Chains A and B, each alone.
Chain A
């Protein structure tokens, strides 16, 4: 001992630190970040856990910036995204998922309200052509511009948005929201050319000196049927019908009784728009059983609430004397249908086909190397078509055909295009392992149900195109964000630091997380077991 201890004191303070109990260990605890299921499910690859975490702290601007790192359209997505993130949310296995879309919408609207902007990197001098101002094109243009490239977006329509404007009715997406978010991309320095149809991509690129192109023209040609008809029933299609509403400010009059053939989300959009345009009797016709209708459950429920009728197990056979002749189908236990051979009639003034859409691939006619299979364009893993420097995404490539998928394509393509322009190759970072429910210690979370968004009065939903769902207020949005369990990512609850019987964890301070003192850690594993969010694991000690 270095000095003489006082009388009756036999052991020196701190002397046990000589005993490095870390040598007992056969397994060591380590901190890691796992990938939360919401992030895995997000087609736009948003780091949802991160922006919910920032929202919990009231750091809305930072939260919004985290979103727009991946997705330029939060206010739009908070409204129209079908939020697969919430299907993946681990909270779903406790009581109900976090209302991720409602918080995203709150943040998106905060940005609109406060006029938050993003900035672009210094110009690289490279020119990129984006064909189509829909979600895919806007996303690619935004990301490429932020990387410093000069981007021109060309669209055949008179306004931006693609299917967000000409497909999604304004009661789901008010146009001022869309306009503001597109304006932000314009303010970033992206050039837009409307009412311009590109007939030949290869020629345009050559003529205007583009270094690369991203094609996202969408799928705007309605699929139709050729049925025997005596012309007593007006026949139109969803694309035309919804397009007319957008262009003329009101729906084309189709009569008092209208049928919609098809049961996807577009069919719901048509039926609900018709209801709002004064058609009192709207019937959706679907050949299969209710459970197999491809539209999202909430869309079907909201349509029924608004008085839309649904005729399942019916196929259109012909039009005669102001009636639709319907063939009656039957389903087996698995929902597979076959015709019974019997028919019935449905009196109708008009029918709208909502049977899916096709891609207009005319613009590719002189592009050598591009392969079209089953009306969609083939791309490689780097989103490039068969023609050098020409990339494609959105509905014109094989995909789920949602707004968010297209935005994800735009982001991904932008990264590959950026690398292509620099003559480099881009390799996405390895994905972290999944933070599945079994990795969590859910004891530590309070049970609390999802907060519902306010919903418009039913009378107004039947007569106006006013937005159906409302915003959460700040306090509600923040508390909803607090339901996030931060799966797989440390949120500094101090449990590991607290439960270590050997005082073998150091708390590094707010935002800096923790560090394990391996000199003393005996490897009991209590820290890992009591970590609520699964951001620790036990790894075998190397001998």
Chain B
């Protein structure tokens, strides 16, 4: 258990980002006045954007630990589009965009160039949404893993192609309605399929570090960034970032949804080193998946009169499988 998790209860303990009763050094970087604000105001993300928040949380922690020596390579996607509409940028870091599918390869190149110039103390980050990570850039990502290039890859997973109008991706959950998985037929929305967990695929590459994180738990997220930063080689961080536009949820509920995804078991928080699971963040207050799904219009058909209950049961079964597989719940 890290120092941060071991703080004695003090009103809200470690559940809030900061805590005036704790030493600021043990609070999250987000709670400090001098955080880097790597992703600054004025960007054009929608109200309540989880991705903008996840990116600031992750990169601010990288900035702190690398003493601002960071280079970020960004894949095409919402994050790229809303932060850099010409002639403006919201990034307070050296930041590079090339194509949709090649961010891991570009980052590998940046890292090689820095090495050639003797600048190995610069941390190289590659980042993208689930579209570029799970689908389009997956080949490049797998190559980066297989070569164990010294890059920390961060995926901000909002479970579809939001920027282009909410099309299904390999990370879209079963039963979710998107522009390309409409409400038709006996089982409306996305099909159940086989699933495609990039964290698990990354683990199968045996890379030094793989972790899942959420914007609903900033201390856990920052701890995982720090753990990744303490290692060399290819590292992978998968951050769950709700999207009010694509999910049909209220902008104010973004953190709440991220939290409910974890508490329901649908989004397990775990970490692995060299392909071996080393830790999980337990569920604190277990809830049925309904509580999470009902707040999102992309799932409303599951609760309509006459809906096939097998669909909702299938989603619950997924959550239950996660809870059993990762041993996420200590209660009855």
Question: Which A residues lie at the B interface, using CB under 8 A?
Answer: 10-21, 24, 56-57, 443-446, 448, 479, 482-486, 491-495, 497-504, 507, 509-510, 517, 519-520, 522-526, 528-530, 532, 538
Selected from B17, B251, B285, the residue in CB contact (under 8 A) with A526 is B251
Report the bound CA distance from A495 to B218 in whole Å.
10
Q: Which residue of B lies closest to A528 (CB)?
A: B252
Q: Report B-chain residues with C-beta under 8 Å of the C-beta of A523.
A: 47
Q: Interface 1/0s, chain B 19-57, versus A by CB < 8 A?
A: 111000001101111000101111111011110110011
Q: Which residue of A lies closest to B285 (CB)?
A: A443
* B256 interfacial by beta-carbon distance below 8 Å: yes
Q: Report B-chain residues with C-beta under 8 Å of the C-beta of A499.
A: 17, 53, 215, 255
- Determine whether the beta carbon of B50 is less than 8 Å from that of A493: no
Interface segment out of the listed B8-16, B135-143, B271-279: B8-16
Q: Report A-chain residues with C-beta under 8 Å of the C-beta of B285.
A: 443
10 cross-chain pairs, A with B, having the tightest CB-CB distances, nearest first: A494-B18, A16-B42, A525-B252, A498-B17, A524-B48, A493-B16, A494-B31, A520-B41, A11-B89, A524-B251
- Determine whether the beta carbon of B40 is less than 8 Å from that of A16: yes
Also in contact, A494 and B16, with CB within 8 A (given A24-B47, A501-B53) = yes
Q: Report B-chain residues with C-beta under 8 Å of the C-beta of A503.
A: 37, 39-41, 56
Also in contact, A517 and B12, with CB within 8 A (given A493-B19, A497-B31, A529-B255) = no
- Determine whether the beta carbon of A498 is less than 8 Å from that of B31: yes
Among B32, B43, B256: residue with most chain A CB under 10 A: B43
Mark out the residues of chain B between 86 and 110 whose CB falls within 8 Å of any chain A CB in the assembled complex. Answer: 86-92
- Determine whether the beta carbon of B11 is less than 8 Å from that of A443: no
* B175 interfacial by beta-carbon distance below 8 Å: no
Report the bound CA distance from A56 to B251 in whole Å.
34
Q: Which residue of B lies closest to A505 (CB)?
A: B41
* B254 interfacial by beta-carbon distance below 8 Å: yes
Q: Report A-chain residues with C-beta under 8 Å of the C-beta of B39.
A: 503
Among A444, A526, A530, A538: residue with most chain B CB under 10 A: A526
Also in contact, A21 and B255, with CB within 8 A (given A498-B218, A507-B33, A510-B20) = no
- Determine whether the beta carbon of B50 is less than 8 Å from that of A444: no
Minimum CB–CB distance from A435 to chain B (whole Å) comes to: 15
Also in contact, A13 and B88, with CB within 8 A (given A444-B16, A502-B43, A525-B252) = no
- Determine whether the beta carbon of A497 is less than 8 Å from that of B41: no
Selected from B16, B30, B43, B83, the residue in CB contact (under 8 A) with A532 is B16
Q: Interface 1/0s, chain B 149-174, versus A by CB < 8 A?
A: 00000000000000000000000000
Minimum CB–CB distance from B253 to chain A (whole Å) comes to: 7
- Determine whether the beta carbon of A19 is less than 8 Å from that of B11: no
Q: Report A-chain residues with C-beta under 8 Å of the C-beta of B180.
A: none
- Determine whether the beta carbon of A12 is less than 8 Å from that of B41: no
Minimum CB–CB distance from B250 to chain A (whole Å) comes to: 8
Also in contact, A491 and B33, with CB within 8 A (given A16-B42, A504-B41) = no
- Determine whether the beta carbon of A509 is less than 8 Å from that of B28: no
Minimum CB–CB distance from B221 to chain A (whole Å) comes to: 11
Mark out the residues of chain B between 253 and 278 whose CB falls within 8 Å of any chain A CB in the assembled complex. Answer: 253-256, 259
Q: Report B-chain residues with C-beta under 8 Å of the C-beta of A524.
A: 47-49, 244, 251-252, 254
Also in contact, A15 and B20, with CB within 8 A (given A21-B44, A498-B218, A503-B56) = no
Question: Which B residues lie at the A interface, using CB under 8 A?
Answer: 9-13, 15-21, 27-28, 30-33, 37, 39-45, 47-50, 52-53, 56-57, 83-84, 86-92, 215, 218, 244, 250-256, 259, 285
Minimum CB–CB distance from A38 to chain B (whole Å) comes to: 15
Report the bound CA distance from A517 to B49 in whole Å.
17
Q: Which residue of B lies closest to A481 (CB)?
A: B11
Minimum CB–CB distance from A84 to chain B (whole Å) comes to: 23
Minimum CB–CB distance from A9 to chain B (whole Å) comes to: 9
- Determine whether the beta carbon of B252 is less than 8 Å from that of A16: no
Also in contact, A520 and B42, with CB within 8 A (given A491-B11, A529-B256) = yes
Also in contact, A494 and B30, with CB within 8 A (given A16-B43, A501-B50) = yes
Q: Report A-chain residues with C-beta under 8 Å of the C-beta of B47.
A: 24, 522-524
Q: Report A-chain residues with C-beta under 8 Å of the C-beta of B15.
A: 443-446
- Determine whether the beta carbon of B41 is less than 8 Å from that of A502: yes
Report the bound CA distance from A391 to B39 in whole Å.
63
Minimum CB–CB distance from B95 to chain A (whole Å) comes to: 9
Report the bound CA distance from A529 to B244 in whole Å.
15
Q: Which residue of B lies closest to A13 (CB)?
A: B92
Q: Report B-chain residues with C-beta under 8 Å of the C-beta of A486.
A: 11
- Determine whether the beta carbon of B16 is less than 8 Å from that of A517: no
Minimum CB–CB distance from A489 to chain B (whole Å) comes to: 12
Q: Which residue of B lies closest to A507 (CB)?
A: B33
Report the bound CA distance from A538 to B47 in whole Å.
14
Q: Report A-chain residues with C-beta under 8 Å of the C-beta of B40.
A: 14, 16-17, 503
- Determine whether the beta carbon of A501 is less than 8 Å from that of B52: yes
Report the bound CA distance from A251 to B57 in whole Å.
70
Report the bound CA distance from A294 to B94 in whole Å.
72
Report the bound CA distance from A483 to B256 in whole Å.
23
Selected from B33, B83, B256, the residue in CB contact (under 8 A) with A16 is B83
- Determine whether the beta carbon of A484 is less than 8 Å from that of B11: yes
Report the bound CA distance from A382 to B33 in whole Å.
47
Minimum CB–CB distance from B265 to chain A (whole Å) comes to: 17
Q: Which residue of B lies closest to A494 (CB)?
A: B18
Q: Which residue of B lies closest to A500 (CB)?
A: B53
Also in contact, A501 and B48, with CB within 8 A (given A14-B92, A16-B90) = yes
Minimum CB–CB distance from B302 to chain A (whole Å) comes to: 24
Minimum CB–CB distance from A198 to chain B (whole Å) comes to: 50
- Determine whether the beta carbon of A21 is less than 8 Å from that of B42: yes
Minimum CB–CB distance from B85 to chain A (whole Å) comes to: 8
